[in-house]
Amino acid sequence: MASLLVMAKNNIHIDPVVDRRGCYKKGYVVVVKPDGYSPSRSEGLPTFILIHCPEVTEEQARNYMNSWEQTVDYTVNSSNLTNATYNITVFGDNLSQSGEAAITRSQVEGFLNKWNATVSSFATNSVTFDFALWQALQSDGFWDRPVESFTFTLDSYTEGTGQAVVTISELLADQITQAQRLITQKGGVVNSSTETSVTFNIHRSDVLSEFQKDVQQKTRGTWCRKQWYFSESLVDQIALIEDTFDGEGVRLTSKGQITLSQAEVLAALNDKLDE
């Protein structure tokens, strides 16, 4: 079962973003130890208190150490398969009740520009834009590098099958293998190559999928160091507990430590998403 080493004071950084993302605050679970764990002197007050949870497994308790992640999802509002274009809205999907962890314009605008997407509107916690297969295939975002020196030719696009045939040229000798490997990684199939060019097939859904994965990876991050915490009042209450013994010298309580049932732990934990 589990014992929770919990911060008994606040660490503070002058930068508010660093403070939110990186600093341990009073009530955060720092380490999960086996039930009955006896802390060292450095693991006690004034820095830490200890909550013993004999009914909670260590695996369950580690979930209380999870950070609050800022994540996004998306909806495809409409598509035109004749020219392989899409209208998409990306939105934050891990907000608190009060709206914290919303995505912002500054987070996504530069990223969308790298994929040659055209932003149509911004709203609180969302951005709507047009995404075109052909423009994406000529973007720094798809190739994971600047591509302004390359020449792209759309040899064909078939609406019925969704397949595009593309030639990228003006490549240097050492870029041919890199381009072939990247095309394969992103779902394409290399048809032919020369000393300066590569021709490949790729399905429109593979391009859209790569973009969607990249959106989620590039916008994902830690919003707050911890999602779960014990209240400051509970921490202060535990910090007041002193060593006590019965008349025969048997320990009754330990300084800065308490034992809680599973129900008491769950009742005492606070979820920042609910705030």
Three-state secondary structure of 53-93: ECCCCHHHHHHHHCCEEECEEEEEEEEECCCCEEEEEEEEC
Helices 105-114, 204-219: axis angle to 10 degrees equals: 150
Give the CA count within 13 Å in the CB-facing half-sphere of 126.
14
Q: Which tokens hold the place of 8?
A: 């008994």
Q: For 44-92, how does the pLDDT look when each residue is reduced to its tens digit (9 = 90+)?
A: 999 999 999 999 999 999 999 999 998 888 899 999 999 999 999 999 8
Closest among 92, 116, 115 to 104, alpha carbons compared: 92
H/E element holding 46?
none
pLDDT recorded at residue 154? 95
The residue ranges of every structural domain in the chain are 2-67+225-274, 70-223
pLDDT recorded at residue 202? 96
Could you give phi then psi for residue 118, rounded to 5 degrees? Answer: -110, 110
Residues 6+ apart with CB under 8 A from 89: 74, 75, 77, 126, 127, 128
Q: For 232-275, how does the pLDDT look when each residue is reduced to its tens digit (9 = 90+)?
A: 999 999 999 998 888 888 888 889 999 999 999 999 999 999 99
- How large is the average pLDDT for residues 132-156? 94
Give the CA count within 13 Å in the CB-facing half-sphere of 274.
5
H/E element holding 196?
none
Q: Contact 49/235 with Cβ under 8 angstroms?
A: yes
Amino acid identity of 200?
F
Average pLDDT, the chain: 92
Rounded distance, CA 231 to CA 229, Å? 6
Label residues 5-19 b or e (16+ Cβ within 10 Å = b): bbbbbeeeeeeeeeb
User: Is it the case that residue 163 has pLDDT exceeding 90?
Assistant: yes
pLDDT recorded at residue 114? 93
